[in-house]
Amino acid sequence: MSAAYVGQDLKAEFGGIPPCLLPLGNKRLYKYQVELAQNKEDIYISLPESYKLPHNDKMWFIKNNIEVIYLPDGITLGESLVTAINSIILKDSQTLKILFGDTLIKPTPLGEDVIVTSEKSDGYTWGTFKENESIIAGYFAISDPGLLIRSIIKARWDFIEGIKTYNKNKALEVRKDLNWYDFGHINKYYQSKAEFTTQRAFNDLKINKNWIEKKSSNNLKIKAEANWFSSIPLKLRIYIPQYLGDNIDEHGNYSYQLEYLYNTPLNELYIFSEIEPTIWDKIIRKCLTFIDDCHKFEKKISNHNCLKNLFSDKTRSRISIFLEEQQFSIDKEWSLNSDNPISLKTMINKTENFINDIQIKNETIIHGDFCFSNILYDFRTDRIKVIDPRGIDAKGNLTIYGSIYYDITKLAHSIIGLYDWIISGFYDLNVDTTSGKINFTINPNKDINQIQSNFVLLISEKYNISYKALCAMQVHLFISMLPLHNDDQRRQYALLANAFRLFKEFNEA
């Protein structure tokens, strides 16, 4: 049940979307909700009639046999449920399971005539059940949908009173102490998100409500990140979570801890929110303020070949790994969307020559992996926080310095290169490796073009970096990341196709 929009507090951060479309773990909330369904159960999602469902979500619902029910705006929960039930065909003796759109309960309890409740723990206004004032959590299993409809109508369309009336006839079984995640209010959203993330943390990540601990089998990578956090000047620490120190365990594994922040990463906002381009302009300007503040701290002795090291040298090293794995020649020609064929060799050489003409004055402090997934935004303070810095140069030396061009290009590869859309699988791709023909499209939201245009203009005015230069450097970024995604060949080819897409933009700029 998600036939209303999020409240004003959530709308301020995510735009006017139904609650089941809120971001959670780089997915929509509804994807986790759908996972709760038992095999072969029919799934329906109700949405407001006025809401225009994005293309990617529409295609996902079709692919997964989920029927969307559009309901009139402004009706009550009781009216919404009765209308939704009347619009579907229930099989005889089929139990109706209802889940609120802002709710996730894992696992959902088995059985008929079940209601999930919890204890009231804060100042929000909740629907309550029975005299003990336990909170209705938002999951119901109903054995007699017709009786529920009549109960709601008798209660003058009041859903809660209708449930209580139904209970008098069917004696609902109350289930408590389940994993209930409530995303209906801004504070509950971030609290539930933290709890949910904690449950799903991988072995190299430990999370609780106060801090996050990161470790890896790659000790050098973790040492580099920790060194960056501990070495940046005090004036830049307003841009990072509080650094809580490092540690080496008995097995020699290196780790460090950071304060856990209740903010949203920009990649989730870019893909899943519907905030206005004007708000994005403000967010991007905050990102550039961070770059400017870092740029104030110059390295005493600069490596004027740092761009060549970061782009050309790394690209040639990484592409050789990819070509060896795929058994392709660098001279093999590829055609993107029926364009004229071109080889990786030609693409790399043309963009490399352009990049090598860029004059670098001095190295300054940089983040090194300044992409949307590593930038958190706090709407209440209008500040960004950065995580997961690179902290290492192309030769494997720990450093906090590099070229400002690299951070700007990493930012561009999220905004223009749409890297996060590819990682989330929002693209169409067909590849014939024999003929070299690639058909590839990315399906971003309607406002992306405006956000991109504003960004390109801002970068040109502020740093005198042309769109052509941004595309050239992004081509190298996408090529160099190919061997890093060898766990997913389809994604690898999407990243390769995107490099060809950006090269076309480079040629036409």
- The secondary structure of 366-398 as a DSSP string is --S--SGGGEEEETTTTEEEE-----B-TTS-B
Name the amino acid, one letter, at 164.
Answer: K
Tokens of 392: 């290492």
Query: Average of pLDDT values for 359-367?
Result: 87
Query: Average of pLDDT values for 310-321?
Result: 89
The per-residue pLDDT for 201 is: 55
* H or E element that contains 467: helix 467-480
Q: What's the Cα-to-Cα distance from 465 to each of 14, 409, 470, 489, rounded to whole Å?
A: 31, 10, 7, 33
Task: Give domain 264-508's CATH superfamily.
Answer: Aminoglycoside phosphotransferase (APH), C-terminal lobe (3.90.1200.10)
Task: Give domain 8-180's CATH superfamily.
Answer: Spore Coat Polysaccharide Biosynthesis Protein SpsA; Chain A (3.90.550.10)
Q: Could you give the CA distance from residue 334 to residue 328 in angstroms, rounded to a whole number? A: 11
Q: Which residues pair with 46 in a beta bridge?
A: 69
Burial class (CB in 10 A: 0-12, 13-18, 19+), 153: middle
The per-residue pLDDT for 124 is: 47
Burial class (CB in 10 A: 0-12, 13-18, 19+), 222: buried
384 touches 339 (CB < 8 A): no
pTM of the model: 0.93
The per-residue pLDDT for 457 is: 98
The per-residue pLDDT for 177 is: 66
Percent over 70 (pLDDT), the chain: 94
The per-residue pLDDT for 130 is: 57
The per-residue pLDDT for 125 is: 46
Q: How confident is the model at residue 304 (pLDDT cuts 50, 70, 90)?
A: low
Instruction: Write down the mean pLDDT value for the chain.
Output: 91
The per-residue pLDDT for 446 is: 77
Q: How confident is the model at residue 308 (pLDDT cuts 50, 70, 90)?
A: confident
Q: Could you give the CA distance from residue 456 to residue 323 in angstroms, rounded to a whole number? A: 32
Q: Which residue has the higher pLDDT, 471 or 87?
A: 471
Q: What is the pLDDT of residues 7-27, one digit of tens each?
A: 999 999 999 999 999 999 899
Q: Return phi, psi of residue 482, to 5°.
A: -55, -50
Q: Could you give the CA distance from residue 229 to residue 29 in angstroms, rounded to a whole number? A: 32
Answer yes or no: is pLDDT of 460 > 60: yes
Q: How confident is the model at residue 361 (pLDDT cuts 50, 70, 90)?
A: confident
Answer yes or no: is pLDDT of 68 > 80: yes
The per-residue pLDDT for 383 is: 97
Range in 89-93, 238-242, 342-346 the model is least confident about: 89-93
Answer yes or no: is pLDDT of 126 > 50: no
